[in-house]
Structure 1
Amino acid sequence: MKRTSLYSIISIMAAASFVSCKSKSGTSDKTGMAYNKKEYGGFAVNNRYKRGPGPGLVEIEGGAFVVGGSAISVPGQELGNFNHKREITVNSFYMDETEVSNTNWLEYLNWIRTNFPKDYEYYYNELPDTLVWRRPLSYNEPYVDNYLRHPAYQDYPVVGVTWEQAERYCEWRTDRVNEFILRERGYMTSFKDLNNGTANASGTSNAPFNTPVYQNNQIDDKGKRAMKDLNPSNAGTGTGNGVATRNVRLEDGILKSSYRLPSEAEWEYAALGLIGSTQYENINDNKIYPWSGLGLSSAKKSTRGLILANFKRTKGDYMGVGGSLNDKGAITVSVRSYTPNDFGLYNMAGNVNEWVRDVFRPNTFEAADAFNPFRGNLYLDKKITDPVTGKIAVDKYNRPVMTEALYAKKQTWAEKQAAASKPADSAKNSYADQRGFRDPQSELYGEITLVNDKSRVYKGGSWNDQALWLNPASRRFLQQDESSADIGFRCAMDMQGSPEIRSYGKPQFKAKPSKPFKGR
């Protein structure tokens, strides 16, 4: 008891020391002027920022690994089924603990129906294709009618969604999470105080909340605890109490980064979970699956013999023998089935394959950068409607209108004004990654092969695959506007700042704080 109390006191003292150190850093070490003070110009700095994942995400500490390193030699299988082996580094990021479920997708559909009740096209375009279950010689009609909506499948992974739909879901999820943060903390009008009393995104206008549009000050909705605007030039321009207020900015560290699909390299790194077998930069146990060992079944006494993932053991064995079902699933299973890997991620092998961001090319990792390799960059800029104020164009859903980026570096002011009055010339965009005319093998793709610029990678194996595809290095592709009964997805998010997640107990260099300038 005494020891516990002592540890608690030490922890509290350490936390207090940390907070006090952070509060002392509220002065510029280059000008001597204090931050967050109106008399010094109101330059706002969040010196108590603490990062964390968005809802549903877990931390993935990055590092170096051999992409394709888990590939195994299987007789009769071509090497093209696996990634080219190469050492790369993946930065730290966040990733969904589970695959996106049917309930998660129905929440998305409900938001559309609530906020755009007469926009039937929007709702229809986001419906999964439940016809993916149909097979000419198989009785799967019950899944066509029930899989998406019946409560028996509510925690099962959503399928029948295209890569394009998954991308739009990520964008929608970003806006809902950030809107929730702003309204619940009082920076915007709370959901409770909204006139219609529903969780729509109207605020003080009829337009849905969108993160980039809000950050560009094109949504005017200030809540009871709105951020104070310390800029003296804006004094007296605030709310009814005379206090100037402003929208939350990126610099405030309150808004979450965008949800997105993981890159192929991120997905493979996270699936392997080598962090569980690494000590002092040495990998003690290589893996060919997201779990340790060469087997596909559990060795623990309580679960001995149970299959560790949802896959097809043989060409006709989907779930085991009646009376002793093994993987417990004829098709998909709940997104929290089996045991998570060493990063805490469920079903990184089996259940459903998962979309990743990358455009498919057989030899991507031979040519891609060694740091955060990715194929699929098509650089986009927000369309500017007023080059002086920086106002951006929005579509009917209040989302920014995106155009192909025309310049690889920042324009001069004169160039920016001139460009606003000229039509976009997509031919100028010549600095995206190697697709289309920049691909040295482009004459082959889409002509003598099925690979083209809309071919997207999916990974992980599924309920309908045999064990070969459970290997994290395996890869296949499908057109980005097509879907399948065995492909779902999970989201990821960038991690800002240091790649080291937990520094406690690890050796660190200590930096001395700067000495305050007294003005004398």
Structure 2
Amino acid sequence: MHHPCHPSTLLTALALTLSLSACQTKTTPETPSSEPTASAPVQTDTVPPKMIWIEGGTFTMGSPEPDFWDAHPLHPVTVDGFWMDEHEVTNAEFAAFVAATGYRTVAEIAPDPKDFPNIPVESLVAGSAVFTPPARSVSLENPLQWWTYMAGADWRHPQGPKTTINGRPNDPVVQVCYEDAAAYARWAGKRLPTEAEWEYAARAGKDAQPYYWGTELKPGGQWVANIFQGVFPEGNTSEDGYTTLAPVRSFPPNARGLYDMEGNVWEWCEDFYRPDYYAQSPAKNPQGPENSLDPDEPGAVKRVQRGGSFLCSDEYCIRYKAGSRGKGEVKSASNNLGFRCVKDKS
């Protein structure tokens, strides 16, 4: 099965929970719960920003797995060389952007009543989606049982208003939608990667493997990515050492020196999402379709997401596997969604 590990395909359903959750301040037990603060995280002992040069080349894009029907057909793609962030953009890096520009993320602004005409205006409060594991086993057919639209959840308070990123400068920034990621990239003199660039960099010269790192889920008996272990969604055993986010560079890099190209957080790409695009994709530097179309939510504008997150596993969401695709509505965010940037050769 290929259920979503994040709520980006649940936009309409999550909107219906707004009026029920406007006063909710539930937090997950793992998260630090010092006094809420609007200040930037302490920027000490931070991982330095670094970009890796990705030499251009040709690879086979997509996946042969039947579950990944929107990653068909397999097709050769050539990309020019580019620079790519070594790791996902961190809390410290995003805080520097906000301090320099005064930028407010979408999750920090109350939803526009025009977008939610059936929700009372007083219930339209700033917030975002938070993974909230249930206390017991539930059906995997209803993700609203473990996703909550939480008032006050944003990049500074990723799991709700009583949580904080203080002391966690090297965690990947989350609760950022496409618009937020694109704004950061422009400020940094970079851009978001195309889907082809992202997959080419993640594969690191190794086509036809089930995982970006190789053929075994646990090579040598070791977890090499931050994904979900145990019974989803209520029974995370955290065998890899992390229940939710892992600081960047916590797991081995791929052959190109890139960290967390699988698991940890989903990463925004520049391309619009369409399940039929691969059949007509150009062979050189594809930029994605001219518009988006998701048959599940035809009225939503969506962009591609790649890499999976800490909620992915072979039991539930398998879209951290090589060649698979994710998708997200451009104004939606969650606590397992971040990004990294790329830059053209100057």
TM-score bucket (shorter structure): 0.5 to 0.7
Distance in 2, Cα, partners of 1:489 & 1:263: 12
| Partner deviation per Cα, 1:329-351 (whole Å, 9 max, x = no partner) | 10110111110000100010100
Deviations 1:71-92 (A, max 9, x none): 434xxx3523x34310110111
Structure 2 unaligned runs (5+)? 1-47, 110-125, 136-145, 151-156
Specify the code of the residue in structure 1 equivalent to 2:313: Q
Q: Give the drift of 1:366.
A: 1.4
Match among 191, 213, 218 for residue 297 of structure 1: 218
Amino acid corresponding to residue 316 of structure 1 in structure 2? F
Q: Does 1:92 align with 2:81?
A: yes
Structure 2 Cα separation of the partners of residues 310 and 136 of structure 1: 17
The verdict on how the C-alpha distance between 1:318 and 1:339 changes in structure 2, with shifts beyond 3 A counting, is farther
1:326 matched to 2:319? The reply is: no
Measured in 2, the distance between the counterparts of 1:331 and 1:79 equals: 28
Q: How far off its partner does 1:451 sit?
A: 3.7
Equivalent residue in structure 1 for 2:305, among 449, 453, 458: 458
Q: Compared with structure 1, are the counterparts of its residues 147 and 267 closer, same or farther at alpha carbon in structure 2 (3 Å cutoff)?
A: farther
Whole-Å separation in 2 of the counterparts to 1:131 and 1:317: 19
Q: How does 1:412-451 map to 2 (within 5 A)?
A: 434-435=290-291, 445=293, 449-451=296-298
Counterparts of residues 33-112 of structure 1 (less than 5 Å): 56-68=50-62, 70-73=63-66, 77=67, 79-80=69-70, 82-112=71-101
Match of 1:483 in 2: 333
Cα RMSD of the aligned pairs, angstroms, is 3.0
Question: 1:124, 1:453 → 2: CA distance?
Answer: 19
- Distance in 2 between residues matched to 1:456 and 1:97, nearest whole Å: 22
Does structure 1 residue 316 correspond to structure 2 residue 232? yes
How far apart are 1:452 and its partner, in Å? 5.2
Secondary structure of the residue aligned to 1:144 is coil
Tell whether the 8 Å contact from 2:228 to 2:236 is kept in structure 1 after alignment: no
| Higher Cα Rg, which structure | 1
The AA in structure 1 aligned to 2:83 is: Y
CA-to-partner distance for each residue in 1:195-244, whole Å, 9 max, x for gaps?
xxxxxxxxxxxxxxxxxxxxxxxxxxxxxxxxxxxxxxxxxxxxxxxxxx
Are residues 314 and 451 of structure 1, via their aligned partners in 2, closer, same or farther at CA, if it must alter by over 3 Å? farther
CA drift of 1:96 comes to: 0.5
Give yes or no for the alignment of 1:172 onto 2:187.
Answer: yes
Structure 1 residue 146: deviation in Å? 5.9
Q: For residues 145 and 260 of structure 1, do their structure 2 counterparts lie closer, same or farther at Cα, with a shift above 3 Å needed?
A: same
Deviation digits for residues 228-276 of structure 1, max 9, x if unmatched? xxxxxxxxxxxxxxxxxxxxxxxxxxxxxxx0000000001111111xx
Distance 2:68 2:261 in 1: 23
Distance 1:315 1:335, change over 3 A: same
Q: Secondary structure at the match of 1:111?
A: helix
Amino acid in the other structure paired with 1:79: W
Runs of 4+ in 1 over 6 A off after TM superposition: 138-142, 317-320
CA distance in structure 2 between the partners assigned to 1:154 and 1:295 by the alignment: 32
Determine helix, strand or coil for the equivalent of 2:184.
helix
With structure 2 as the length reference, what TM-score do the two structures score?
0.67
Matched residue of 2:319: which SS? helix
Q: 1:344 aligned to 2:257?
A: yes
Q: CA deviation at 1:101?
A: 1.0
Please tell me whether the aligned partners of residues 128 and 334 of structure 2 are also in contact (alpha carbons under 8 angstroms). Answer: no
Aligned AA (1:96): D
Q: Establish whether residue 265 from structure 1 lines up as the match of residue 200 from structure 2.
A: no
Residues 130/335 of structure 1: CA separation in 2 closer, same or farther (3 Å cut): farther
Q: Distance in 1 between matches of 2:342 and 2:235?
A: 30
Per-residue deviation, 1:316: 2.9
Residue 322 of structure 2 corresponds to residue 472 of structure 1: yes
The answer to whether the 8 A contact 1:354-1:458 is kept is yes
Q: Deviations over 1:385-413 (max 9, x none)?
A: xxxxxxxxxxxxxxxxxxxxxxxxxxxxx
Match of 1:150 in 2: 166
Is residue 83–residue 473 contact of structure 1 (8 Å, CA) maintained in 2? Answer: no
Alignment deviations for residues 472-517 of structure 1 (CA, whole Å, 9 cap, x no partner): 3111211111112211100001124xxxxxxxxxxxxxxxxxxxxx
Partners of 1:459 and 1:472 within 8 A in 2: no
User: Structure 2 CA distance, aligned partners of 1:56 and 1:318?
Assistant: 36
Q: CA 1:475–1:457 in 2, change beyond 3 Å: closer, same or farther?
A: same
Shift of 1:297: 1.3
Conserved 8 A contact 1:311-1:318 = no
Equivalent residue for 1:133? Answer: 130
Structure with larger RCO (C-alpha < 8 A, sep 6+): 2
Identity value in percent: 30
Instruction: Describe the shift of the 1:162–1:312 C-alpha distance in structure 2 as closer, same or farther (beyond 3 A).
Output: same
Distance 1:491 1:146, change over 3 A: farther
Does the 8 Å contact 2:107/2:175 carry over to 1?
Answer: no
Give the helix-richer structure, 1 or 2: 1
User: How high is the TM-score relative to the length of structure 1?
Assistant: 0.46
Residue 355 of structure 1 deviates from its aligned partner by 0.5
Give the Cα separation in 2 of the matches to 1:454 and 1:479: 6
Counterpart of 1:265 in structure 2: which amino acid? A
The yes-or-no answer on 1:495 pairing with 2:330 is: no
C-alpha displacement of 1:134 = 6.0
User: 5+ residue gaps in structure 1?
Assistant: 1-53, 114-121, 175-258, 278-284, 300-304, 377-433, 437-444, 497-520
